[in-house]
A and B are shown apart, each in its own frame.
Chain A
């Protein structure tokens, strides 16, 4: 989660908290990564790993943030296909997400529900 990657994300979403004191550690210059930036990287992993086709729709998202991620942290994102079903002519996929920091500690978990064109 280097400054370039995170800055691109912040610029895209316009997250104004990134420049506020809340995203800084009080006793140092350490900067924190917005929670949803961690999630966005996870979804990127899903898109790449599952080779999800164009036209796919995002129906729902669950996320749990378990620890602060400082700028410069290396994250490992794992995606698991938890459910694969057909409903109303659409294929519905549920993908579980787990994101660990460099120490192997889970910093975020999630579940994405997406509809893939049949």
Chain B
């Protein structure tokens, strides 16, 4: 289904994916924005000597695509009642195209509040998992 904030979700529904090309320029800009200048991300020489052999993107830069996807789907509810648990499984390299995907795992109602739980992941163009995890959001007004 194609969703937007306000959509009613059910088990098995898929969220609209977010696709993004990760460039070194983007990694450098993220370093400036976040203050994370770990040389594994920004220093070509240092990264060449690491076990990755080249620079890798910040995990949180890639994870931002998941939050974007959740914001698209759940709007303000995500901003004020969102929960995310992620594992960084594999590096994302500049030049990779990554896709964030999500599937509704369950919709639970407790005390009149509905919580939508989604399996989320980010995959590289090779279909290798870069990030896996779970995102949940409490829906205001009980809609879900």
Interface hits, A8-48 → B, CB 8 Å: 8-9, 11-17, 22-23, 32, 34-36, 39-41, 43-44, 47-48
- Are B32 and A8 in touch, CB under 8 angstroms? yes
- Set B29, B39, B81: member contacting A55, Cβ < 8 A: B39
* Total contacts A-B at CB 8 Å: 128
Give A32's nearest chain B residue, CB to CB. Answer: B79
A contacts with B, residue count (CB < 8 A): 40
Interface string of B81-100 (1 = CB under 8 A from A): 11111111000000000000
* CB interface residues, A 68-105, toward B, < 8 Å: 68-69
Find the A residue at minimum CB distance from B4.
Answer: A22
Q: Does B108 sit at the interface, judged by CB under 8 A?
A: no
- State A57–B87 Cα separation when bound (angstroms): 12
User: With contacts A41-B34, A67-B80 known, is A59 near B26, CB below 8 A?
Assistant: no
Closest Cβ of chain A to B103, distance in Å, is: 20
Looking across the interface, which residue of chain B has its beta carbon closest to that of A52?
Answer: B38
| Structural contact, B80 and A68, CB atoms closer than 8 A | yes
Residues on A with C-beta less than 8 A from B85 are: 60-62
Given contacts A14-B26, A54-B40, 9 further A-B contacts (CB under 8 A): A15-B68, A36-B60, A36-B64, A39-B67, A40-B60, A43-B34, A43-B36, A58-B59, A68-B80
> What is A's interface to B at a CB cutoff of 8 Å?
5, 8-9, 11-17, 22-23, 32, 34-36, 39-41, 43-44, 47-48, 52, 54-69
What are 20 inter-chain pairs, A to B, with CB distance below 8 A? A12-B29, A12-B33, A14-B26, A15-B64, A16-B68, A34-B68, A34-B71, A35-B78, A35-B82, A39-B60, A40-B34, A40-B64, A43-B60, A60-B85, A60-B88, A65-B78, A65-B79, A65-B81, A66-B81, A68-B80
